[in-house]
Amino acid sequence: MNNQPSGLVLTGVSKRFGATRALIDGDLRLRPGEIHTLLGENGSGKSTLVKIMGGVHRPDSGTVTLDGVPVTSRSPRAAMDLGIATVFQEVLTAGSQSVLENVWLGSHGTFRRRLGRAEQRSIAQDVLTRIAGAIPLDLPAGQLSLSERQALCIARALVRKPKVLILDESTASLDVSSRDRLFVEMRRLAAEGTAILFISHRMDEVAEISDRVTVLRSGRSVSTVERSDLSINRLIADMTGNSGHAETRRQPHDAGDTILQGAAVRLAPASAPIDFELRAGEVVGLAGLEGHGQDHFIKRLAGVAAGPGSVVRIRPEGAAELTERNGDALGVAYLPRERRGESLFESMSIRENFALPTLAKDRRGGLLDTRSIARRFDAFARTLSLRFGAAQDAISTLSGGNQQKVLLARWLATDPKVLLLNDPTRGVDIGTKREIYAILHRLSAEGMSVVVLSSEVDELVDLADRVLVFRDQSVFAEIPHSELSTESIVAAYFGQKSEVHT
Amino acid sequence: MNRVLPLFQRWPFAFAFLLALVLLVLNLIVSPSFLSPARLPGTLATLAPFVLVGFASTPSILAGGIDISVGPLATFINCLFVAILIPAGLGNWDLAAPIILAVAAGIGALNGILVAVLRLHPVVATTGMLFLLVGLSLTIAQNPVAAPNNWTEVFAGGIGVVPGALLTIGVAGLIWFALRRTAFVSNLLATGESDVSAYGSGVNIKAIRILAYTLGGLFAGIAGIALTAIVQSSQSSLASTYALLGLAAAVLGGTSLAGGRGGLLGALFGAVSIYLLQQLLTASGVAPSLIQFAYGAVLVVGVVLGATLLAPRLKRNAS
């Protein structure tokens, strides 16, 4: 063991969730006294790495040491006892408890209170003031603004005086003045020897505060850059890698008339309104880091979420506003993000899963004609090259990719003109992904309009005619086909309107 | 109304308190001697098991769960004491009281382990426990057995001028009051309100949940003593009566079934309301069959009020 504390060191850390390898080879050296930024796009393994450090997950393999001593935290509590305090991405408060209780939440033992009431109050007041300004300690936390609640979560970590402080997107919900105060506080703590891991999706923040930056891509640590070598272009290049995948790339082509139109759609009370037109035969990609509004937007287009602004389906026979009920009738089909829970009937058969919304087509004299169902299903099974045992098998016997194809068939059976896909290839193997891309290309060539939200940048580059990148609950950039690249999309994720290369 | 609503929201038990007050006045009108010093100890002794099963239901609900078995646990304790401990010569208070409380708390802890460690749904786990306890009670005391003179009689009468029922209720209240001065109740409320937040902040939510059910078991044990005090026999048949009364009292008293909001004071006023309603209906000659109906009606109204009008309107920005 060294005499000098070596900080938090992760070596070759991996973590698997079912079939998904969230982290394959995570390496990170977090030195005492530094502000170290962890950077990566969706699914790069950031959150998994943070949760391993914070004691939520345990790694499948690899080592974690703090000042040379192996760390095997089994819970956030155990991590905190070692001096690792994590402010998780979610704003975690107990709404009907007071601000004071929330600041000290988890610091106490099961029965034993840490510190006296008066001391608790003065420390909480002091720490909160340094980040968010004066917040009344006796107010229920639920009555605070989002920014104040985020500050409260940060204060909760700070009052523990941790050796290692992890801030996972903690600036996302902070207002600007609180963020500036947090930065001052971070620098002060680093000067006192605290190791700080910082995660943010704002490049300007990363450039301002980081001593070093480690980039994660597809579950691996790809580079660690010193402040002196920091350049935004380099970081974006590291995040995207240099994967060549132009061969499947969609060719630009002419789109038809507008068939779906969104006017002044607002995703949050204060966000900028979005005007959107979808034309016949067009494939539009929606992108953004998790939680920036793209998910809400596609739900608004589908009519399954309501809010300010209007979404109108334009047909030869006239325009009609979309609601939760009339999607089918207007030829708009929506494939939700969560297969389990939102789409699948897990205990039912493959064929039933396919046929449920369209059983009306199999009606013969008020009864169901099972042969008609079978005929329809077989036709789709062929065109989508679906692989299954028997159509009566439970849907759960299929792989994720084939389940997704069954669901795609379910909605294609409604004869839609507009197909809205919410992250359709999540948890789908690469071969089936390619097949789904080919199907979408074919459908759009036949005149169908597709909106596809994807958390995978490569996929959007392959699929889309243009991509809308969301930031802060609005459209930050619209990237036309000519400028479409992983770099331009990821740059927009992080708030850069890049002219990196066009 | 604009000024009254925030009051209700601030103090969840306010509705039950007002209801109890109104029912008390009605009772006094129907039967003016209702609160006379001669009747008071008896009245309070009959009230005590109601209040205590209400207390017993509260901690698990606050933790975000539910314990349906506290009522039958109280009657099981009654049967255990009368049909087993007394015949076995363990009936003296210095032996029986520790045994009773340990058994009751142990059964509560078992519920807690089923819920927090084995992750059974609390309704499933504690319904199972309910049938188990009802079955056990019937096995050890199928028919009512009269108890010989014993120490529990104190709680039906009184010590000097102090009604004995105040002791059983008081002990449970004191335990809660003492726990409020530790971090336990804060941890309990936070766990019930948002277990993710509590866990992420470092609260040992497993331990908190197990302790919540254990505490409920302990209170149910005290309820068993208070019950024995008034019936002075083993009464396995009462299990069904008390099974849901505790929950009714807690919920009527404003304790939120979503967890995290409420407390023992609510259960107290809730139980008093239910008891007073029963007294009122009996004294005014309403058919016993209608009494259950009236309970149900009051409970539904109380829960609806609690869920709609009186729930605090917190801004909940999902993030």
Is B73 at the interface with chain A, CB within 8 A?
no
Give me the residues of B, 300-319, that contact A with CB < 8 A. 312, 314-317, 319
3-state DSSP assignment of residue A319: strand
The 10s digit of each residue's pLDDT in B16-47 is 898 899 999 999 998 888 888 888 888 899 99
Q: Say which residues have a Cβ less than 8 Å from residue A350's Cβ, sequence separation at least 6.
A: A377, A388, A390, A391, A392, A393, A394, A395, A397, A398, A406
Residue B233: per-residue pLDDT? 92
Cα A331 to Cα A502: distance, rounded to the nearest angstrom: 37
Q: Do A173 and B190 touch (CB under 8 A)?
A: no
What total of structural domains would you count in chain B?
A: 1
Name residues whose C-beta falls within 8 Å of residue B70's C-beta, 6 or more positions apart in sequence.
B53, B56, B57, B108, B216, B217, B219, B220, B223, B242, B246
Residue B57 has pLDDT above 90, yes or no: yes
Both tokens assigned to A296? 């809400």
Residue in A171, A143, A267 with CA at minimum distance from that of residue B316: A143
Q: For helices A117-132 and A146-158, give the axis angle rounded to 10 degrees.
A: 120
- Per-residue pLDDT tens digits of chain A, which is 502 residues long: 445 678 999 999 999 877 677 888 889 999 999 999 998 877 788 888 999 999 999 999 999 999 988 988 789 999 999 999 999 988 899 988 899 999 999 888 888 888 888 999 999 999 999 998 888 999 999 888 888 999 999 999 999 999 999 999 888 888 888 999 999 999 999 999 999 999 987 788 888 999 999 999 888 888 898 888 888 888 888 887 755 444 556 676 677 888 888 888 998 888 899 999 898 889 999 998 888 889 999 999 888 888 888 888 888 777 888 787 777 778 888 988 877 777 888 888 888 888 888 888 888 888 888 888 888 898 888 888 887 778 888 888 777 778 888 888 888 888 888 999 988 887 676 677 778 888 888 888 888 899 999 888 888 888 899 999 999 899 999 999 888 888 888 888 888 875 544 3
Q: Under an 8 A CB cutoff, do A113 and B182 touch?
A: yes
Q: How far is CA A201 from CA A15, A291, A377, in A?
A: 23, 11, 44
Q: Give residue B60's domain range.
A: 12-17+42-307
Give the bridge partners for A86, in sequence order.
A166
Compare CB distances from A146 to B179, B189, B319 and report the shortest one's residue. Answer: B319
Residue with the two structure tokens 């996929």: A459
Q: Is the pLDDT of residue B309 over 70?
A: no
Q: Please tell me the predicted confidence (pLDDT) of residue A158.
A: 94
- Above 70 in pLDDT, residue B317? no
What's phi and psi for A409, nearest 5 deg?
A: -60, -40
CA distances from residue A127 to A98, A174, A222 in whole angstroms, order as listed: 16, 15, 36
The closest alpha carbon to A238, from A251, A225, A255, belongs to A225
CATH 3.40.50.300 range(s) for chain A read 8-240, 245-331+416-502
Task: Bin A258: left if φ > 0, else alpha if -120 < ψ < 50, else beta.
Answer: beta
Helix (H, G, I), strand (E, B) or coil at A323: coil
Residues of A with CB under 8 A from a CB of B: 54, 56, 75-77, 80, 86, 88, 90-97, 101-102, 104-114, 140, 142-143, 146, 156, 173, 291
State residue A2's pLDDT score. 46
The position carrying tokens 């974006």 is A236
Q: Domain containing B153 — which CATH number?
A: 1.10.3470
Is B215 part of the contact surface with chain A (CB cutoff 8 Å)?
A: no
- Measured between CB atoms, which of B190, B204, B207 is closest to A97? B190
Strands annotated E in A154-229: 164-168, 195-199, 212-217, 220-226
How far is C-alpha B105 from the geometric centre of its chain's CA atoms? 14
Contact B314 A143 (CB under 8 A): yes
Angle value at C-alpha A193, between A89 and A208, nearest 5 degrees = 55
* Confidence check: pLDDT of B316 > 50: no
Measured between CA atoms, how close is B127 to chain A, in angstroms? 27
pLDDT the model gives residue B3: 60
The answer to whether A265 and A300 have CB atoms below 8 angstroms apart is: yes
- pLDDT (tens digit, 9 = 90+) per residue, B226-258? 999 999 999 888 888 887 889 889 988 888 888
Q: How far apart are CA A495 and CA A178, in angstroms?
A: 20
Among A53, A111, A152, A170, which would you mutate to test the B interface (most chain B Cβ atoms within 10 Å of its Cβ)? A111
List the Cα angle A428/A431/A433 in 5-degree steps. Answer: 50
**Are residues A493 and A232 in contact, defined by beta-carbon separation less than 8 angstroms?**
no
Of all residues in chain B, the one with the smallest CA distance to A174 is B319
Phi and psi at residue A360, to the nearest 5°? -55, -30
Residues near B208 by Cβ (< 8 Å), separated by ≥ 6?
A110, B63, B184, B187, B188, B191, B198
- pLDDT tens, position by position, B282-307: 888 888 788 778 778 877 887 677 66
- On the 0-12 / 13-18 / 19+ scale of CB atoms within 10 A, A314 is middle
Chain A residues touching residue B317 (CB < 8 angstroms): 146
Per-residue pLDDT, averaged over B161-188, amounts to 93
Q: Check: CATH 3.40.50.300 for A8-240?
A: yes
In angstroms, the CA B89 to CA B233 distance is 16
CB contact under 8 A, B204 and A110: yes
- The reported pLDDT for the residue numbered B48 is 94
- Cβ atoms A150, A121 nearer than 8 A: no
Quote the pLDDT of residue B312: 53
Q: Judge whether B205 lies within some domain.
A: yes
Residue B310 is predicted with a pLDDT of 57
Cβ–Cβ gap B316/A88 under 8 Å: no
Residue the block writes with tokens 């869920």: B307
| H-only helix segments in A400-466 | 400-412, 430-445, 457-463
Q: Give the pLDDT score at A283.
A: 92
The C-alpha atoms of residue A27 and residue A63 are separated, in whole angstroms, by 9
- pLDDT value for A452: 92
Q: Which of residues 131-190 of B touch A (CB under 8 A)?
A: 179, 182-184, 186-187, 189-190
DSSP 8-state secondary structure symbol assigned to residue B238: G
Whether B117 is in a domain gets the answer: yes
Q: How far apart are CA A422 and CA A400, in angstroms?
A: 15
Per CATH, the number for A245-331+416-502 is: 3.40.50.300
Q: Which of A162, A138, A157, A164 is nearest to A64 (CA)?
A: A164
Q: Is it the case that residue B121 has pLDDT exceeding 90?
A: yes
The C-alpha atoms of residue A29 and residue A9 are separated, in whole angstroms, by 5
Q: How many CA atoms lie within 13 A of A388 on its CB side?
A: 27
Distances (CA, A) of A171 to A89, A99, A132, A330: 10, 19, 12, 41
What are the beta bridge partners of residue A470?
A288, A475
Which two three-digit tokens encode residue A146?
């989002």
Chain-chain contact of B314 with A105 (C-beta, under 8 angstroms): no
ipTM above 0.95, yes or no: no
- Quote the CA–CA distance of A222 and A136 in Å, as a whole number: 45
Closest by Cα among B40, B60, B27, B77 to B220: B77
Tens of pLDDT, residues B186-226: 999 999 999 999 999 999 999 999 999 999 999 999 999 99
| Residue B117: burial class (beta carbons within 10 Å; 0-12, 13-18, 19+) | exposed
